[in-house]
Structure 1
Amino acid sequence: MSQMTPTFNMKNLSDAVADQFGLSHQDGQNIVRYVFDKLKDELVAGKQVRLHQFGTLEARHRKAGEARNPATGAKIKVPARRVVKLTASPFLREAVSH
């Protein structure tokens, strides 16, 4: 059996915020939800989101293309769409590399 990578999720983050600032877990959850909703709203509006010492998030247009089903080798058309791209800051890249 393979080991799963530990995951840090929204609940863990909201609990950490609540514990760090002496808030109820509901208040921690509300704060984290607000922050992520605000980030999403700014990306949807076409803005770039820069987070100091973390990175830059931006919604980019990915043009249509063609891909292959790895199981069958069949070609499929992939429609154009908007995607979110994270460019990690040098500080984050350095921290993760150690």
Structure 2
Amino acid sequence: MNKVEMAEKLATKCELTKTKALEIVNCIFDTAPGHGIIAVELDAGRSVDIQGFGSFSTKHRAARKGRNPATGETIDIAAKHYPDFRAGKGLKDRVAK
């Protein structure tokens, strides 16, 4: 399912126009700087917890040494933050059926 398909289902379920439903989906999931509720919260270092569904957070990966597989040369890989999602019990139970 992509964002447009999700918006169509949201429009049907909540009796919204497809345009309004797509606007809502984009408001939640957009990744452009300053947009998207989830991305803005993660940028600020906060987590997003959705009861029964799961939680979005950021994790830190420390700097490390790596190896270029083509040349065998040792390279430095910079530290970085990355997004993480942990499914909640409700979602895990639903999928496990």
Aligned residues: 90
The unaligned stretches of length 5 or more in structure 1 are: 1-7
Q: Percent identity?
A: 26
Q: State the distance in 1 between where 2:92 and 2:66 align.
A: 30
Q: Pick from 25, 29, 46: which aligns with 1:32?
A: 25
1:12-60 alpha-carbon deviations (Å, 9 max, x no partner): 1111111112222111100111122011111111111101111111112
Q: CA RMSD in A?
A: 1.8
More off after superposition, 59-68 vs 78-87: 59-68
| 1:23 aligned counterpart, secondary structure | coil
The unaligned stretches of length 5 or more in structure 2 are: 30-35
| 1:61 aligned counterpart, secondary structure | strand
| 1:77 aligned counterpart, secondary structure | strand
Residue of structure 2 equivalent to 1:93: 92
1:49-72 alpha-carbon deviations (Å, 9 max, x no partner): 101111111112111123456x64
Runs of at least 4 residues of structure 1 off by over 4 A? Answer: none
TM-score when normalising by structure 1: 0.78
